[in-house]
Structure 1
Amino acid sequence: MIPKTGIEMYQKRLFALYKNQIYTHLESEIDQPNYQDWLDILKQESDLIQYKIAKKSDSSPLNILLGDSLSMWFPNSLLPSGTLWLNQGISGDTTSGILKRLDIFAKNNPNNIYILAGINDLKNKVPIVEILKNYQKILNYIQQHYPDTQILVQSVFPTQLPTKTLTFSIQNSLIRELNQNLAQQVQNQGSLYLDFHQRFTNTPGNIRSELTTDGLHLSLEGYKVWQFALKQTESRLTNNRDDNYQKWLQKSSGFPLDGQSYNWVSYKVQPGDTLEKIALKTLGRDDFDYCDLIAIRNNLTSEMLLINDVIEIPQLI
């Protein structure tokens, strides 16, 4: 395939060098990276980030995205800031494949590992009980070899299949069954289960059309939904806003913050309102930690607000 843009040409030439070839001397077309190529690349990225951490050129916390193509294609610009991210996603990978490559980032000692896997298992007709067994082995391995790492298992996202692009089918009822069993397994193991599934669904339980490109993979809007979920998770972990705190904040008449007291009052969303603007106006700060207080109260899953919706916002006493 002839490169159509400068970046495609650069990538072709870079991959040729990776294969110990010179682009202008190629006798045939360069193959697309195969599974082993991706393993090698992920290992090199892992080694490089470990080197930077060892040299103390970056002391930020390290998070790992571990999974398949959904993780692999996560836009770098949307990853929550203030953290080093190591993307360990490989297109088409399964829980059994991930289990075999957990030693790639062994030297990194990550703070958090976010796992999203299982959709390709379901595509390949792997029984749910087998997927859960693989997950158990993954959790056991990480807990044994990374004892200081927080494991966060994300629910498998819904689909809308088949489509013109993807002709196979993955039943959402199977995805829900897997998620239900996975949630119990992860909690029993002492890790965190992140139920992001509902953020992506429409009323019939399929993935919302604007969040996907082909019924399975995410659009930019889909990744923004995922980004917001990760930002909320990171903020709540940092500030110890666990489920008990969230339930309290959702029911309380008010709350203390930065030495001041606030009540909750009703507010109709106006044109131009965003979570950041409302947080800045009511709390004097638009940092995400402040925005998320309003998000928790109103069970919001997006920074964008719908005009004329009625929400509750803080009011200084």
Structure 2
Amino acid sequence: MMAGRGSPTGDAAGGPARHVPVLLAEALEALAPRDGGVYVDGTFGAGGYSRAILAAADCRVVAIDRDPAAIAAGAAAVAQHADRLILVEGRFSRLDEIAVSAGFDAVDGVALDVGVSSMQLDEAQRGFSFTRDGPLDMRMGGDGPSAADIVNSMDEADLARLIFVLGEERRSRAVARAIGRARSTRPIETTGELAEIVARAVGPSRDGRNPATRTFQALRIYVNGELSELAEGLFAAERILRAGGRLVVVTFHSLEDRIVKRFLADRAQATRPSRYMPDLPSAPPTFRLITRGAVTPGEAETEVNRRARSARLRAAERTDAAARPGNATDLGVPDIAVAGAAVHRGKRLQ
């Protein structure tokens, strides 16, 4: 289950729930599960969205997670729901291929709850949290370079740019210099070490956040190629959704939300012929917006779950128009984030 899915209450699919999804009621309303439908939960986590979809209608769910721990924990859910739940280890950027491999050429809905999971944040050994000391890892799937690899190997100027662009940290150069000084003595290996280095470089936060928040966000996004993953997931959803199918996306920070907003705004209007190639026909809209602007959690939800405060939900319904080609940069994914996706796939560190 992805970041912000809340408090330890209720039951997850196949067992006790550790977290409750943010904006769950709003997501279900937008997704509108129906009997006989097929739905993709691209971010299975602890099974909160999958469980809710299966409870809402006599339907089937193809659930995906890149985290082997989530897949192992979901075995009980699969057993409980028999042939109604198919759980696959993989990336939601390939959700169309995964759905086809599961036997579905088209689906009736796609739900994406994007970001790092509350479970991952709560487990020190995963290396996501600056409040729980553990190995500086941050890999969702356990493969590719870790955050420690990036922190100890990347050129200082590139590291500053990474932290500025993906973490929106204004003092990114000071953070990168502090990291450079620290690693010149010995490698930075734990989340606690890095958090202390960043805190000294940034100083007290005016908004009450931990001063390491933005740097940790930047590293996590880079290590996991998250923004490229999101963009490719949106394109994959466009390809696999049948006419009338619904796309629901919940994001937890502005970089993610801007990508979703740009994608839906573009796909909800027809393309115009280029003045340089006037003979090319315009393409009709591939989506109809369900939500005008972003849906945010109510006060009651944010009081119970502080992680819900930054959540934004956007939703749209697929038309019968053919899917359009696209790439991550079309949706405003920064070059440094695209590079991060390449690094995760095993290419040379920047």
State the TM-score, normalizing by the size of structure 1.
0.33
State the TM-score, normalizing by the size of structure 2.
0.31
Structure showing greater radius of gyration is: 1
